[in-house]
Amino acid sequence: MPPLTREFLYHLGKLMRETAESLHKELADHTNELVAAARKTNNSAAIPVAYSKASIDNFRTRVRATTEKYLDALENCGITVDGVVEREMLQKIHRLTHTHGSLTLPPCSEGQT
């Protein structure tokens, strides 16, 4: 039997969703603050930079909060962290932080038309 049961893994999934939902307003407010500050500069190039910064900040906040919830869940459920549990938890955290490298080009930049 694997060290992390199906029930516990389901619990981790619920924690991830609950954390994202609980942070939604805070992260949206953070984005709005950065964009509003960028608009006040009257520099149109500052707005996309503000969205990028907000996106990075929000990602870090979500991952940090979710990881803390995961570690608390291990402790609360009395699961002893050994090499196998550590490896499985690192895989779960990796899935939180891993993204697929996709690149979207604007129209008309894919070649001659």
pLDDT tens digit string along 12-41?
A: 889 989 998 999 999 999 999 999 999 999
Instruction: Please say whether the beta carbons of 84 and 91 come within 8 A.
Output: no
pLDDT at 5: 85
Task: Tell me the H-state helices in the chain.
Answer: 6-40, 46-76, 83-97
Instruction: Please say whether the beta carbons of 64 and 52 come within 8 A.
Output: no
d(CA 62, CA 20): 6
Give the predicted TM-score (pTM) of the model: 0.73
| SS3 category, 50 | helix
